[in-house]
Amino acid sequence: MPNQLKVFTGKANPELAAKITEHLDIPLGQVDIGRFADGEVTVKFLENIRGTDLFLIQPTPPPAENLLELLIMMDAAKRASAKRITAVIPYFGYARQDRKDEGRVPITSKLMADLLTTAGANRVMSMDLHAAQIQGFFNIPFDHLYASAVFIDYIRQRNLQNLVMVSPDIGGLKMARAYARRLECGYAMVEKERIIANVSEARNLIGQVEGMEAVVVDDMVDTGGSIVKAAEILKDRGVKRIEVVCTHALLSRDAWKKIQDSPIDNFSACDTLTPPKIKEFTKFNLVSVAGLIAEAIRRTHDEESISTLFV
């Protein structure tokens, strides 16, 4: 059927893809992703995709095979005559190097844009980019989704009293302020200094938080150092309860243990990434963005507005 909507996934987060197709009420497409004896990725679509509106769901965290799977799937889809290929990348990896802040370093987010376009993407969809200006690296349409569309209602359901939204650094202040405006509450910011990559030091708190219940909002949590230090400062300043909401829970190294042992009372993250299955981590809640992504896919296929999702 011409222009039929089809959704396929790589191996990075098949659970999310299954939820998305359930919301769309269509079957998840069949694709064989294997390895040659030396580990090289091989892809074969197991059904006809000629003339289809194709959506490939694949976050791109390390290892690099996740990115390679997406690129190779797009190349296979292009050569199989898919009408339009949309790369749905819930977590856009390699985005943190978005400018040259010192000599002899790459701009990997621009490299990602070039790779995706060359491989055959006609459109890209992602969620809570590390830097919104990354959209400008693409010469094809880019749909930037926001986890706030699901987190706002989630925070309301938490029934927190005397709420204050907190940014763990100056880079997230705009996000914290936007949440505060929607939730009709105050906001604050932890001042920190980044010493080297993945190492930062929280120094001060700007804003009134004493006796309040705080929600720290961030786009991603990697090693957990910044978010834990922010929580410690909030606790010292008299915050009664500390919750964290983040879009992408990378949680590298011993981040899980840091958070478990910290003053954080509850840690909530989206299912853009498959979280490690650590049974002893009792503070973790998973908030699904499958419905949001599914609606964005449906509207893209039907040529409807996506921006109205965030009004």
pLDDT at residue 117, rounded to an integer: 98
94 & 175 share domain? no
Asked whether residue 108 falls in the same domain as residue 186, the answer is: no
Tokens of 94: 């390699």
Residue-range definition of the domain harbouring residue 29: 5-146+291-310
- 169 & 99 share domain: no
Q: Is 257 a catalytic residue?
A: no
Asked if 9 and 17 count as a contact pair (C-beta separation under 8 A), the reply is: yes
In this structure, are 195 and 118 located in the same domain? no
pTM: 0.94
Sign of the alpha-carbon dihedral angle for 177, 179, 184, 187: negative
Instruction: Give the CATH number for residue 263.
Output: 3.40.50.2020
Q: Which amino acid, one-letter code, is at 42?
A: T
Q: Are residues 57 and 164 in the same domain?
A: no
For residues 159 and 157, give the distance between their C-alpha atoms in angstroms, rounded to a whole number.
Answer: 5
Co-location of 35 and 52 in the same domain: yes
Q: Are 134 and 222 in the same domain?
A: no
Of 6, 192, 229, 258, the active-site residue reads: 192
Q: Is 203 exposed, middle or buried (0-12, 13-18, 19+ CB in 10 A)?
A: exposed
Task: Tally the domains of the chain.
Answer: 2
Q: Name beta bridge partners: 142.
A: 124
* Cis check: omega of the bond before 263, within 30 degrees of 0: no
Residues 154 and 192 in one domain: yes
Low-confidence ranges of the chain (pLDDT < 50): none
Residue 181 and residue 117 share a domain: no
**Backbone angles phi and psi of 153, in degrees to 5:** -65, -35
285/83 Cα distance (integer angstroms):
38
pLDDT (0 to 100) of residue 17: 98
Question: Does 48 share its domain with 115?
Answer: yes
Residue 297 backbone dihedrals phi, psi, to 5 degrees = -65, -45
Are 153 and 140 found together in one domain?
Answer: no
Q: What pLDDT score does 200 carry? A: 56
User: Do residue 247 and residue 121 come from a single domain?
Assistant: no
C-alpha of 54 from chain center: 21
